[in-house]
């Protein structure tokens, strides 16, 4: 059979040949087959822990119970507990403030710096680009430790520099003062993660057709108008991506908290991820509660991501 | 329910006889390494079972663990793997390994963590193991309070410590002062030193977040003034007019008047000793006595030799505690794990308390064994860093911390301590009053008890 049959003068649709190894696969089947390894990997690496954590969040689980493999079902009990815990609510509030500060700063700075290094005629040599990207290579916990030394009240670099420049007369207790502690954690976090946002925006800038700017210039548009009417609208898709990514990462900030303040002073820098960690991985090792708090966090990030896409993408369309 | 690893590996009398016979035979043939093989003693017998390697999970302290691992390997021909984390991260590391079904032969615990580890099923009782009774008989009272739980021996001592004050003698001379004898005098001295610009912040507290640091400082000063946190029946003693509450008010005052170093709120034991070595403070608040081995170490401290130890005001009462090693239920072989446990917290093959002696000589740590504490290991070994007689006098006035805050025996002590760290730091930084702090802590007791 060749796959074409004629019956009663009508031409029938070609018949699919039976599958044999060595034959070329259709595009749909090939695409599906080639995605299987990725799907399996994602299922094992991401989906399994996500669903298992969801399962744990509905059970009373200590770490010792994990070893024994026996956990009593508690329904929504863990969720009720965290939502009734003032510390969790405070941690959420701190997380929202931290996220608002860091994401806003990252996006604004990323656009500004990306515009700057996109100007080929100014000081943007390769070394400058390398130095701008360098913080992204610093491990988060190392970054936290570096900044905790810089913030040291008695011997820290930051106070020394500000004092030498005459900007302060007395040292500032950056990480030890409840009024400045959250900012003191946000600055190292922004410093570390900003290069990623710069990379995204810079890549998007390079994709903008220069003829648009030339045409605008011919029409008499100034730099600000060109930015407002050409650059910014064309950057919106990447800004959405940056907002979604940076928000989800900022919600999960942990390393800088661990290294610099450990939630202190008092509860000034207790954030949601620190709460989940303390509940799940510090005595009494209440993994169920830790999982539930992580899920509430994930839910909020999900809602925010949808909101970003709807608000900003809709405008683009 | 799965069987807990290690539980089924009971050490039977037959195993011991086999081990003794095999050991004697090998020893006679010269088959066992080691200089002084004390045949017939529990610590010198080779278990009959075979293991390829052993492991322990501990928190860091110098290089004491590489030394003892090497000695174990030299003596028994079995390599020892170690997993070492920071003190504050140790419970997390241990419990995640345990939850992950990893093998853990021996681990260690602070007195604050041990009841929780026991309730989670990590700790193997030791009473029926060879030599356990001898160890029990030699425990100091402080070590016994931790190592014996519900009438069972559950650990061997890592070290014992007593809480002392420190002062910087050069600054004391410069200020023309004598070490304080009352808390009022302490405040006056600090004000004077600040006013005279001899020290910007006359006192450095060990008030970093932790199970022992900030809470311990409050426990110590409350106990010294005659107060406790919970009475014998478990009722809190934090109400209006309580000694704990008044102590906190006094403590807050040192921050309000900017007498306390702001870095105090991040200070752990070691970091605080190093910071004090910079010579910027007159006093270092109550803390573990062995911080002197940093503050008076010329390699680590510019003011080495000038940091002195000071007892507490009044009758001088203070607190002390002991940390222990324990045999983990997740061990691979109980007999060999017991052998390793003895190397860490008991006797080595030669019958010596090698680890306890080394810790006293190298790190100024106290021992949980009476025989070590009364030996010249302490009176001579501690001399490079401080006055052993003075410290031992303070030692005699120490009470186990569990007497002051007996919630450490309760599973809710951890979450309550979390709250304590938060609320007290808020009080010390002026976010809430000491009264509000204590009220919050009283309310938190019921919350954490509900779980």
**Residue B108 lies inside a defined structural domain of this protein:** yes
**Residue B6 lies inside a defined structural domain of this protein:** no
**Residue B2 lies inside a defined structural domain of this protein:** no
CATH number of the domain residue B139 falls in: 3.40.190.10
CATH number of the domain residue A201 falls in: 1.10.3720.10
**Residue B1 lies inside a defined structural domain of this protein:** no
Predicted local confidence at residue A314, as pLDDT: 64
Say if residue B431 is in the same domain as residue B354.
Answer: no
Is the pTM above the cut of 0.95?
no
Q: Tokens at residue B347, please? A: 């006797």
Predicted local confidence at residue A122, as pLDDT: 64
Say if residue B301 is in the same domain as residue B360.
Answer: no
With contact defined as beta carbons under 8 Å apart, do B377 and B371 qualify? no
Give B240 to chain A, closest Cα distance, Å: 22
For residue B344, give the nearest of B55, B125, B94, B101 by alpha carbon. B55
Domain-terminating residue out of B332, B349, B381: B381
Contacts for A236-239: CB closer than 8 Å, 24+ residues apart: A236/A312, A236/A313, A236/A315, A236/A316, A237/A204, A237/A313, A237/A316, A238/A200, A238/A201, A238/A203, A238/A204, A239/A107, A239/A111, A239/A201, A239/A312
Residue A148 pLDDT greater than 90, yes or no: yes
**Residue A296 lies inside a defined structural domain of this protein:** yes
Q: Can you give the residue range of the structural domain that contains A185? A: 78-316
% of chain B exceeding 90 in pLDDT: 78
Chain A and chain B share a number of CB contacts under 8 A equal to 98
Give A64 to chain B, closest Cα distance, Å: 6
Q: Can you give the residue range of the structural domain that contains B23? A: 13-160+321-381
Compare all CA atoms of chain B with the CA of A70 and give the residue at the minimum distance: B1
**Residue A196 lies inside a defined structural domain of this protein:** yes
- Characterize the bridge pairing of strands B318-327 and B307-310: unpaired
Cis amide bond preceding A203, omega within 30:
no
Say if residue B186 is in the same domain as residue B300.
Answer: yes
Band of residue A313 on the pLDDT scale cut at 50, 70, 90: low
Say if residue B55 is in the same domain as residue B173.
Answer: no
**Residue A223 lies inside a defined structural domain of this protein:** yes
Residues B338 and B333: their CA atoms lie apart, in Å, by 8
**Residue B393 lies inside a defined structural domain of this protein:** no
Say if residue B424 is in the same domain as residue B285.
Answer: yes
Task: Report the mean per-residue pLDDT for chain A.
Answer: 87
Judging contacts by C-beta atoms under 8 Å, the chain A residues touching residue B123 are none
For residue range A241-266, what is the model confidence (pLDDT) as tens digits?
A: 899 899 999 999 999 999 999 998 99
Say if residue B151 is in the same domain as residue B202.
Answer: no
Say if residue B306 is in the same domain as residue B331.
Answer: no
With contact defined as beta carbons under 8 Å apart, do B368 and B395 qualify? no
For residue range A95-130, what is the model confidence (pLDDT) as tens digits?
A: 999 999 999 999 999 999 999 888 776 666 677 778
**Residue A195 lies inside a defined structural domain of this protein:** yes
Say if residue B176 is in the same domain as residue B224.
Answer: yes
Judging contacts by C-beta atoms under 8 Å, the chain A residues touching residue B278 are 154-155
Say if residue B183 is in the same domain as residue B256.
Answer: yes
Say if residue B377 is in the same domain as residue B413.
Answer: no
**Residue A16 lies inside a defined structural domain of this protein:** no
User: Hey, of A88, A280, A284, A291, which one would you mutate to test binding to chain B, going by the most B CBs within 10 A of its CB?
Assistant: A284
How many distinct structural domains can be found in chain A? Answer: 1
10-residue stretch averages of pLDDT, chain B, 451 residues long: 34 40 37 40 88 95 88 96 90 90 95 88 94 95 91 96 97 97 98 97 95 95 97 94 98 97 92 95 97 95 96 96 96 97 95 93 93 94 94 93 90 90 96 97 90 68
Residues B211 and B414: their CA atoms lie apart, in Å, by 8
**Residue A187 lies inside a defined structural domain of this protein:** yes
**Residue A1 lies inside a defined structural domain of this protein:** no
**Residue B84 lies inside a defined structural domain of this protein:** yes
Q: Tokens at residue A35, please? A: 């995605």
Q: Is B295 helix (H, G, I), strand (E, B) or coil?
A: helix
Predicted local confidence at residue A12, as pLDDT: 53
Predicted local confidence at residue B304, as pLDDT: 96
How many distinct structural domains can be found in chain B? Answer: 2
Say if residue B307 is in the same domain as residue B350.
Answer: no
Say if residue B240 is in the same domain as residue B336.
Answer: no
Beta bridge partners of B321: B161
**Residue B7 lies inside a defined structural domain of this protein:** no
**Residue B262 lies inside a defined structural domain of this protein:** yes
């Amino acid at each position: 059979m060749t796959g074409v049959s004629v019956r009663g003068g009508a031409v029938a649709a070609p018949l699919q040949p039976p599958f044999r190894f060595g034959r070329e696969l259709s595009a749909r089947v090939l695409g599906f087959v080639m995605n299987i390894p990725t799907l399996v990997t994602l299922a094992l690496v991401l989906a399994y822990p996500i669903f298992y954590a969801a399962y744990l969040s509905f059970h009373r689980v200590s770490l010792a119970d994990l070893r024994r493999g026996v956990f009593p079902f508690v329904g929504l009990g863990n969720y009720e507990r965290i939502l009734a815990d003032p510390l969790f609510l405070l941690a959420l509030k701190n997380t929202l403030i931290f996220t608002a500060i860091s994401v806003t700063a990252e996006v604004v700075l990323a656009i500004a710096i990306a515009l700057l290094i996109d100007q080929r005629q100014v000081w943007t040599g390769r070394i400058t680009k390398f130095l701008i990207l360098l913080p992204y290579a610093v491990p988060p916990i190392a970054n936290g430790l570096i900044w905790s030394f810089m913030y040291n009240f008695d011997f820290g670099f930051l106070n020394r520099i500000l004092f030498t420049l005459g900007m302060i007369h007395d040292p500032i207790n950056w990480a030890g003062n409840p009024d400045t502690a959250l900012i003191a954690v946000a600055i190292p976090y922004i410093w570390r993660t900003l290069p990623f946002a710069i990379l995204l925006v810079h890549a998007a800038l390079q994709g903008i057709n220069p003829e648009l700017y030339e045409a605008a210039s011919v029409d008499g548009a100034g730099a600000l108008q060109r930015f407002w009417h050409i650059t910014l609208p064309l950057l919106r898709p990447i800004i959405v991506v940056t907002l979604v990514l940076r928000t989800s990462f900022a919600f999960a900030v942990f390393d800088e908290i661990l290294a610099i303040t450990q939630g202190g002073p008092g509860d000034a820098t207790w954030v949601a991820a620190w709460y989940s960690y303390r509940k799940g991985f510090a005595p009494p090792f209440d993994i169920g509660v830790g999982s539930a708090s992580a899920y509430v966090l994930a839910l909020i990030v999900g809602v925010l991501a949808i909101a970003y896409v709807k608000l900003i993408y809709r405008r683009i369309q | 329910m799965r069987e807990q690893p290690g539980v089924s590996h009971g050490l039977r009398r037959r195993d011991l006889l086999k081990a003794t016979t095999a050991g004697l035979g090998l020893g006679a043939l010269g088959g066992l390494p080691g200089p002084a093989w004390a045949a017939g003693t529990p610590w010198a017998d080779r278990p009959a079972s075979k293991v390829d390697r052993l492991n322990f999970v501990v928190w860091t302290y110098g290089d004491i663990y590489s030394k003892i691992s090497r000695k174990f390997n030299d003596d028994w021909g079995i390599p020892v793997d170690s997993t070492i984390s920071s003190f504050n991260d140790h419970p997390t590391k241990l419990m995640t390994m345990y939850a992950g079904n990893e093998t853990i032969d021996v681990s260690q615990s602070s007195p604050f963590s041990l009841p929780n580890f026991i309730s989670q099923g990590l700790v193997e009782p030791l009473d029926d193991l060879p030599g356990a009774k001898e160890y029990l008989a030699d425990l100091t009272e402080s070590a016994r309070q931790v190592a014996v739980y519900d009438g069972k021996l559950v650990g061997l001592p890592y070290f014992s410590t007593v809480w002392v004050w420190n002062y910087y003698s050069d600054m004391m001379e410069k200020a023309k002062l004598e070490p304080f004898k009352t808390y009022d005098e302490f405040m006056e001295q600090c004000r004077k030193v600040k006013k005279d610009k001899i020290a910007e912040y006359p006192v450095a507290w060990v008030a970093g977040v932790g199970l022992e640091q900030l809470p311990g400082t409050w426990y110590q000063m409350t106990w010294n003034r005659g107060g406790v946190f919970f009475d014998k029946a478990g009722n809190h003693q934090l109400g209006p007019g309580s000694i704990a509450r008044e102590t906190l008010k006094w403590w807050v005052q040192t921050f309000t008047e900017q007498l306390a170093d702001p870095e105090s709120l991040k200070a752990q034991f070691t970091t605080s000793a190093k910071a004090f070595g910079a010579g910027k403070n007159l006093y270092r608040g109550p803390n573990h006595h062995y911080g002197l081995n940093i503050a008076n170490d010329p390699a680590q401290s510019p003011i080495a030799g000038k940091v002195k130890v000071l007892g507490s005001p009044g009758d001088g009462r203070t607190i002390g505690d002991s940390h222990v090693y324990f045999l983990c239920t997740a061990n691979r072989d109980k007999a060999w794990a017991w052998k390793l446990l003895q190397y860490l917290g008991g006797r080595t093959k030669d019958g010596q308390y090698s680890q306890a002696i080394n810790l006293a000589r190298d790190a100024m740590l106290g021992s949980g064994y009476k025989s070590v504490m009364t030996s010249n290991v302490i009176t001579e070994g501690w001399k490079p860093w401080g006055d052993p007689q003075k410290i031992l006098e303070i030692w005699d006035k120490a009470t186990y911390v569990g007497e002051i805050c007996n919630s450490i025996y309760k599973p809710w002590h951890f979450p309550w301590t979390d709250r304590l760290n938060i609320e007290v730091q808020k009080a010390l930084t002026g976010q809430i009053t000491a009264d509000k702090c204590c009220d919050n802590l009283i309310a938190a007791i019921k919350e954490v008890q509900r779980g």
